[in-house]
Amino acid sequence: MGNEAIMAKELEKKLKEGHSLHMIDVRETSEVKEGNIPTITNIPLGLLEFRMHELDKSKEYVLVCRSVGRSSRAYKLLESYGFNVINMVGGMEAWEGKTE
């Protein structure tokens, strides 16, 4: 994708087209239970620094939260460690696609 942000609709379209995307939901586990994007990985923002070793710097990650605050902080953190990251604009509040 090669940019810093992606709109929720654009992400939904890419998933529908069958693109294999690596997505991280940085919301708390209790929030994720209320609905999340299928195939997304949940790593709460507070644990992200401790779980970075699970991520692969050769992959691109789309970051998602409720609105955009936490994913912006996650973006800055991961980018500072050399990860290739994109922020989903508007977070789950903007997501109109399928949830589980």
Catalytic residue among 65, 85, 86, 92: 65
List the domain boundaries for the chain.
5-94
Say what the pTM is. 0.94
pLDDT per residue rounded down to tens, the chain (100 residues): 456 999 999 999 999 999 989 999 999 999 999 999 999 999 999 999 999 999 999 999 999 999 989 999 999 999 999 999 999 999 999 999 999 9
7 pairs with which residues across the strands? 89
DSSP string, 33-55: TT---TTPEE--HHHHHHHGGGS
CB atoms near residue 29 (< 10 Å): 11
Distance CA 42, CA 9 (A): 20
Please say whether the structural domain 5-94 has been given the CATH code 3.30.465.10: no
86 pairs with which residues across the strands? 62
Active site residue 79: no
CB atoms near residue 87 (< 10 Å): 22
Pair of tokens at residue 9? 């609709």
